[in-house]
């Protein structure tokens, strides 16, 4: 799936009295480009109003871009929309989008037929999806949708997205508003779907934790522009100029604090602090992200050869939230 | 994957609705009789069956006449309301995007998935009236009336689908949550001659009346209550007009819906 320089503006109107209104143009996307590879779980992370839903709607063929191009599995989302629709599963909101007076199973049967499935194949697929998302286990498959909790609605939404066995799943904030157990279950489900069934997944969210757990790669979008794109670790490295490594060690009597400091300073180029504490000696090293792995191994080797025993080791890296806040200007 | 499953999806949706909404099922059966009773009751308040015949100017049984009018009025309103307003309904409950990502053209999805509902509802209501028609017209007369009314329901539906879809396409493009047809429907009914004969209208209204498919549907329904007289030539003419209008309005709606869909997808109205 590829998006190349997507641009989209909306016209909105500000009411000025009963009959007057003022036109305002909002630029939702200002040239968004990214690529998602087969079998990948890709996250689109951004604050509210960043352009996530606009991007998702364009890729789902529900919105036309002003300019730029997007292809899904080789099909153009504008010129070959029907072909794209045959190959994608979409979940846009979790709290609505179904018929309230139908059960979960009946809703899936209806949408299955609407999407061209029929007969025993449809019945089996509906049953399988209800089992996969756990609604069968909860005994809720044959309950009316109006009696569903938000968590159940979210599961049903995923089940519908998966119903036609699509190659690409597009999920817009699938865990928004869910309680922690439901959100966790849904995340596990997504990982299962992506890795066991080999689906490509595009997920939008502003939940950092979710991205770290679920996504192979992510793009951060802000004010209609992709500001960064990489793996979670790659993005962390991108924003942090230094990381902190803290170790608690017990020194043998023959090794002084000065000796220890000199030994460690030979390994890393930056600041080294060595302080005695009640539990042992605390070593604090500030280093560049690139030297993290090699320097840590070398330090451990030297500590071992000096006869020091390492009690605790902790790396203080920036969180994805730090990355997000830095790249989106604190929004 | 074909249009058959799309038709079936519409049918199964209604069956599920009936299964889970018993009150809706009961009201669907009761409503035509309530309406008929009201119409007849009001009619008889103003005079006898003979007065009715002289007022209408035809040799028709008032019960059969109103059965036909009730059925066709309800069926016509149903098409215009449901197809015209379906976009709003799906927008309100949040199913519109999921309807639009069905692998068909939007006009096809909206119209085709509605046809089974229309036929199911209309024929169930027609079946309801069969005993009344047989009571008034005898077995052969009652059954032939049923046949003509069934024909009016089917043939009358065809142009109305396209006609209503034109309004549906308009609703797809605007972001306001108003079903234009809710205030347009009474005007359409008046101009179609549902309440007063069209020949009483001023010229401009008669011209509009000619353009409305409902005018011919009502006329066809009325003929069904006059089958005692030889009106087959007139019936054939009306059916031909309705078929011609079907082609016209459906072709027009197909084009307009395509444009409306594109405009909605451009403006973000979905």
Domains and CATH numbers, chain A: 2-230 (3.40.50.300), 242-318 (3.30.70.2860)
Specify whether the CB–CB gap between B245 and B155 falls below 8 A: no
Q: Of B143, B126, B125, which Cα lies nearest the Cα of B134?
A: B143
Contact A277, A248 (CB under 8 A): yes
In terms of residues, how long is chain B?
270
Residues of A with CB under 8 A from a CB of B: 10-11, 54, 57, 60-64, 82, 85-86, 88, 90, 92-93, 95-103, 106, 109-111, 113-118, 144, 160
Nearest-angstrom CA–CA distance, A145 and A143: 6
SS3 (DSSP) at B74: helix
C-alpha atoms less than 13 angstroms from C-alpha of A270 in its C-beta half-sphere: 15
- Please give the Cα distance from A72 to B54 (Å, whole number): 69
CA–CA distances in Å: residue A52 to residues A48, A206, A223, B65, B214: 8, 10, 10, 59, 46
The model's pTM: 0.80
- A287: which strand partners? A243
- The span from the CA of B145 to the CA of A131, in Å, is 52
Give the span between the Cα atoms of B33 and B25, in whole angstroms: 14
- Residues in B closer than 8 angstroms to A95, CB to CB, are 94
Helices assigned H by DSSP within chain A: 52-59, 81-87, 104-114, 119-132, 150-162, 180-196, 208-214, 232-239, 257-265, 292-305, 320-327
Token look-up 């969180």 returns A319
The order of strands in the sheet holding A75-76 is A20-35, A2-16, A67-72, A75-76
Asked if B77 and B125 count as a contact pair (C-beta separation under 8 A), the reply is: no
Distance CA A22, CA A14 (A): 5
Name chain A contacts of B1, Cβ cutoff 8 Å.
116-117
Cβ contact B101:B179 at 8 Å: no
Q: What is the pLDDT of residue A318?
A: 75
Tally of domains within chain B:
1
* Gap from A31 CA to chain B (nearest CA, Å): 17
- Per-position pLDDT tens, chain A of length 331: 999 999 999 888 787 777 788 888 889 999 999 999 988 999 999 888 899 999 999 999 999 999 999 999 999 999 999 899 999 999 998 888 999 999 999 999 999 999 999 999 999 999 999 998 999 999 999 999 999 999 999 999 999 999 999 999 999 998 888 888 888 888 888 888 888 878 899 999 888 888 888 999 999 999 999 999 999 888 877 777 778 888 999 988 888 888 888 888 888 777 788 898 888 899 988 887 777 778 888 888 998 988 988 999 888 877 777 778 877 776 5
**ipTM computed for the complex:** 0.81
**Measured CA distances, A223 to A50, A70, A331 (Å):** 5, 19, 10
Instruction: Give the minimum alpha-carbon distance from B183 to chain A in angstroms, rounded to a whole number.
Output: 21
State how far residue A314 is from chain B, nearest Cα, in angstroms: 48
Structural domain harbouring B206: 3-267
Res. B228: pLDDT tops 60: no
Main-chain phi, psi angles of A171, to 5 degrees: -125, 120
- Which candidate from B5, B93, B109 shows the least CB-CB separation from A99? B93
Phi, psi of A301 (to 5 degrees): -65, -45
- Whether B20 sits inside 8 A of A102 (CB atoms) is yes
User: Shortest CB distance from A110 goes to which of B12, B100, B268?
Assistant: B12
Running DSSP on this structure, what letter comes out for residue A137?
T
Q: What is the DSSP string of A49-85?
A: TSSHHHHHHHHTTSS--SEEEEEETTEETTTTHHHHH
Residue labelled with tokens 């309800």: B74
Residues of A in contact with B101 (CB under 8 A): 60-62, 85, 88, 90
Chain B contact set for A176 (CB, 8 A): none
Q: How many residues does chain A have?
A: 331
B12·A100 Cβ contact <8 A: no
Q: Are B80 and B217 in contact (CB under 8 A)?
A: no
């Amino acid at each position: 799936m590829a998006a190349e320089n997507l641009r989209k503006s909306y016209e909105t109107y500000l009411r000025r009295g009963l009959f007057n209104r003022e036109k305002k143009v909002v630029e939702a996307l200002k040239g968004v480009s990214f690529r998602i590879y087969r079998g990948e779980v890709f996250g689109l992370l951004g604050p509210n109003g960043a352009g996530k839903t606009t991007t998702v709607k364009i890729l789902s063929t529900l919105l036309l871009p002003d300019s730029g191009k997007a292809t899904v599995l080789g099909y153009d989302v504008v010129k070959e929309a029907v072909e794209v629709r045959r190959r994608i599963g979409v979940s846009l909101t979790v709290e609505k989008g179904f018929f309230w007076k139908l059960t979960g199973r009946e809703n899936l049967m209806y949408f299955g037929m609407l999407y061209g499935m029929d007969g025993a194949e449809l019945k089996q697929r509906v049953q399988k999806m209800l089992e996969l998302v756990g609604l069968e286990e909860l005994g809720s498959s044959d309950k009316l949708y109006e009696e569903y909790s938000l968590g159940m609605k979210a599961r049903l939404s995923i089940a519908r997205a998966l119903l036609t066995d699509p190659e690409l799943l597009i999920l817009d904030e699938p865990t928004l508003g869910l309680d922690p157990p439901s959100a966790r279950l849904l995340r596990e489900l997504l990982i299962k779907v992506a890795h066991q069934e080999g689906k490509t997944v595009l997920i939008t969210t502003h939940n950092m934790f979710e991205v770290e757990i679920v996504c192979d790669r992510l793009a951060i979008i802000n004010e209609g522009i992709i500001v960064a794109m990489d793996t979670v670790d790659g993005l962390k490295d991108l924003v942090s100029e230094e990381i902190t490594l803290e170790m608690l060690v017990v020194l043998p009597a023959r090794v002084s604090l000065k000796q220890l400091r000199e030994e460690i300073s030979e390994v890393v180029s930056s600041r080294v602090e060595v302080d005695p504490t009640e539990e042992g000696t605390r070593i604090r090293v500030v280093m560049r992200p690139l030297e993290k792995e090699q320097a840590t191994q070398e330090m451990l080797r030297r500590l071992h050869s000096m006869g020091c025993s390492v009690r605790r080791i902790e790396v203080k890296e920036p969180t994805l939230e730090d990355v997000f806040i830095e790249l989106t200007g604190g929004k | 994957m074909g249009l058959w499953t799309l038709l079936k999806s519409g049918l199964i949706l209604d069956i599920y609705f009936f299964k889970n909404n018993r009150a809706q099922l009961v009201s669907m059966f009761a409503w035509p009789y309530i309406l008929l009773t009201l119409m007849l009751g009001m009619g008889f308040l103003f005079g006898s069956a003979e007065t009715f015949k002289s007022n209408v100017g035809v040799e028709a049984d008032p019960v059969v006449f109103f059965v036909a009018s009730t059925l066709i009025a309800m069926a016509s309103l149903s098409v215009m309301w449901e197809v015209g307003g379906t976009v709003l309904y799906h927008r309100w409950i949040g199913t519109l995007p999921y309807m639009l990502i069905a692998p068909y053209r939007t006009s096809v999805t909206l119209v085709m998935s509605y046809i089974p509902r229309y036929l199911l509802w209309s024929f169930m209501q027609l079946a309801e009236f069969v005993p009344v028609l047989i009571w008034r017209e005898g077995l052969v007369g009652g059954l032939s009336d049923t046949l003509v009314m069934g024909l009016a329901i089917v043939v009358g539906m065809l142009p109305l689908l396209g006609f209503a879809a034109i309004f549906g396409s308009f609703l797809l493009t605007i972001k306001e949550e108003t079903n234009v047809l809710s205030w347009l429907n009474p005007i359409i009914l008046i101009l179609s001659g549902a309440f007063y004969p069209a020949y009483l209208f001023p010229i401009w209204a008669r011209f509009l009346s000619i353009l409305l498919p409902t005018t011919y549907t009502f006329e066809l329904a009325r003929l069904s209550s006059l089958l005692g007289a030889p009106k087959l030539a007139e019936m054939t003419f009306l059916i031909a007009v309705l078929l011609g209008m079907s082609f016209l309005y459906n072709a027009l709606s197909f084009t307009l819906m395509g444009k409306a869909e594109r405009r909605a997808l451009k403006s973000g109205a979905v």
